[in-house]
Chain A
């Protein structure tokens, strides 16, 4: 059953690749891109409707499209891709066979069916415009919940396959010592995913039963508490996964090694620590929970994760700087960065994502997660602005970048339209950064999220948002178009490459740069500077100053509003 013909050796990386694992990686990655396309097109509808001068869709269609956009990109695109990453980080990086490939196919199709059933309820039946959060007692079609549950079961099976593959690798001694850091990061993502899906089951199964009439009542507050244990933790899966990919990227592009295995691994572990209360910062202005509960849970759970991300924010570019300096790029503070391959989309996507995730997503997430500052921000456009920084500039852009590397390595096809590909991360990154910034600007000025008409043309009494707020929404619309161009470029390059790109024979090298040789200890020893990563330290210092200033400015805003106690 475990014959050698089931494996091939990658001529560029030297990885021993189990063919059934490779098939599953391909399937999940292709499905991911299809749902990115669906969700992305729906996102254009959202952006153009919220552009006040354009106001593209009618209200029914808008709420429907907004629901579909959220679920397709935030759940289906990202989780399908994460399944591919889990299999890559286990079977490929450990050079072992994947556990239960047949069940893997079953799980994959279960996820596909679940995603289609959910989309059928939202987009075709049209009676499930309940947003991704589906807060009770707002009712959706039964198939809405059934679709999500099927999808989650499939994802859960994939998680257990990942754990099974780790057991096989250890049992068959396909590696020595500890698992690679990237696999370790993927393991934390997998553990978080299991907790997340369990929370999802705890809330979605009773909600399904309520929908069917077997349960008479679900408390709105309790729903939110448990739903966010699922909804927020799933973002921790994304973070753990895309940071693993950052480490992977700097390893294959620069031959970099982590500054310290201990620090990076501990930082990953922090994502798991007290994960179960990570939902608290979504409930900061909810009734029925005490301030003590909110503060303890928010700060205890959240700031540990914040610390972890800030540490990775140093160690990822630090590992790169360390390697580049060892290779001789050591003039001044930033030669290591200037001489990076900015035309290679694998690198540019990763680095833009690193900066965008930290500055646009990270800082703002902490600010709005402070109990009292949340009063200014809860359910305003600031919230989608923030998570377009984390999940799109962060996770999605990272996944796009590594896809350019996976196409030759796993799909054995050349990436075509290389020029377009080299521009793509910049176009998408700029567009999406605009979305994040302008939405947060509008949110700061009070514009509500999930709202069809902020001009209140038909609302009794009427309300006028400031001209600045409306301008922010128009600028957001323009940024959406730019991001859509970048997104379309990605899909075009990927689809044409994977299905029509020149094939690369199995034993032939790709021909372009795929894998940097490991930086040797001798090379590292040639760099005798007292500080290993001065450039990165300057970068994180600038980041920290911006962070602290912005944090305290928001307290000042808060002090100007009504007294509340």
Chain B
């Protein structure tokens, strides 16, 4: 019994039940499959994290974001006159997370790729693109770079899903996805 010392003092010499052996074999093989799925998806899958990130200060990051906004803003929108930016395909674009706003709004083309940078200039935030359902941790001091390729036309919201203080639930951003070549 498990509450008494093993009755056979040489318990490590006991044979293992057949049922147990079968299950252990299944479990070990399954563990190997689980492990291999991740590198395999890096090779054959289309949704992978990049390993690209840079140290950055809030000032440096904000300056880069401002530069893109200054160049490619097409209109402003919402209660805060948030700039809507339509960047060239393939360019570097900078999303700023701050209390309590995602800034600016981007207008991207379907099936085109962009180098999306994400960072926070104050506390930690959570980038949650809905309904595409892509979720990333956003840290101050880290410029995270991901190449994104939208695959559906429409409005995507960026919900903040890391608690960031009392205005957290009002922190909401937007990315528009338009048809390829649309003006």
Contacts and interface: CB of A to CB of B under 8 A. Distances in A.
A220 B122 CA distance: 11
Interface in A207-241: 219-221, 224
Contacts of A93: 3
A461 B174 contact: yes
Interface string B1-41: 11111111101101111111011101110110011011101
Contacts of A377: 135
B139 A544 contact: no
A459 interface: yes
A3 to B, nearest CB: 25
Given A138-B124, A459-B171, A537-B23, A295 B2 contact: no
Contacts of B149: 562-564
A295 B36 CA distance: 9
A555 B126 CA distance: 22
B141 A220 contact: yes
B148 interface: yes
Nearest to B136: A285
A287 B144 contact: yes
Contacts of A250: 2
B49 A536 contact: no
Nearest to A464: B157
B180 to A, nearest CB: 14
B79 A460 contact: yes
A59 interface: yes
B37 A559 contact: no
A564 B128 contact: no
A450 B3 contact: no
A178 B23 CA distance: 26
Contacts, number: 308
A466 B139 contact: no
A43 B80 CA distance: 36
Interface stretch (A78-86, A96-104, A253-261, A433-441): A253-261
B14 to A, nearest CB: 6
Interface stretch (A114-122, A366-374, A420-428, A487-495): A366-374
Nearest to B147: A565
A531 B17 CA distance: 9
Contact of A285 (B79, B101, B137): B137
B82 interface: yes
Interface in B125-146: 126, 128-144, 146
A105 to B, nearest CB: 26
Contacts of B8: 261
A177 B3 contact: no
B47 A372 contact: yes
A60 interface: yes
A521 to B, nearest CB: 9
Interface stretch (A298-306, A325-333, A341-349): A298-306
B164 interface: yes
A418 to B, nearest CB: 24
Contacts of A375: 47, 49, 134-136
Contact of B159 (A177, A283, A370, A463): A463
Contacts of A445: 133
A404 interface: no
Interface in A495-547: 518, 531-534, 536-537, 540, 544, 547
Given A138-B124, A287-B53, A307-B27, A533 B19 contact: yes
Contacts of B35: 295, 299-300, 303
Interface string A126-167: 000011000101100000000000000000000000000000
Contacts of A300: 35
Contacts of A366: 34
B148 A262 contact: no
Contacts of B169: 59, 451-454, 456, 458-459
Which residue among B80, B101, B128, B174 has the maximum number of chain A CB atoms within 10 Å of its CB?
Answer: B128
B45 interface: yes
Given A220-B140, A287-B144, A303-B35, A372 B45 contact: yes
B49 A294 contact: yes
Contacts of B162: 135, 379, 450
A178 B6 contact: yes
A446 B161 CA distance: 10
Contacts of A256: 1-2
A261 to B, nearest CB: 4
Nearest to B172: A459
A537 B27 CA distance: 13
Interface stretch (A25-33, A179-187, A386-394): A179-187
Given A259-B20, A462-B172, A182 B3 contact: yes
Contacts of B160: 448, 451
A63 interface: yes
Interface of A: 59-60, 63, 93, 130-131, 135, 137-138, 175-182, 219-221, 224, 247-248, 250-252, 255-264, 283-292, 294-295, 298-300, 303-304, 306-307, 310-311, 314-315, 318-319, 366, 370-372, 374-380, 445-446, 448-454, 456, 458-463, 465-466, 518, 531-534, 536-537, 540, 544, 547-548, 551, 555, 558-559, 561-565
Interface of B: 1-9, 11-12, 14-20, 22-24, 26-28, 30-31, 34-35, 37-39, 41-42, 45-51, 53, 77-80, 82, 101, 113, 118, 122-124, 126, 128-144, 146-151, 157, 159-166, 168-174
Given A63-B168, A258-B2, A287-B53, 14 more contacts: A137-B122, A221-B141, A256-B1, A257-B2, A287-B143, A288-B139, A311-B24, A372-B38, A375-B134, A451-B161, A453-B169, A458-B169, A460-B80, A564-B50
29 contacts: A137-B122, A138-B124, A138-B164, A177-B9, A178-B5, A181-B3, A220-B139, A248-B2, A250-B2, A260-B16, A262-B12, A283-B137, A295-B39, A300-B35, A307-B28, A311-B27, A378-B135, A380-B128, A380-B133, A445-B133, A450-B162, A453-B169, A459-B171, A460-B80, A540-B23, A555-B41, A562-B47, A564-B148, A565-B147
Which 4 A-B pairs rank lowest in CB-CB distance, beginning with the nearest? A563-B149, A287-B144, A448-B161, A463-B157
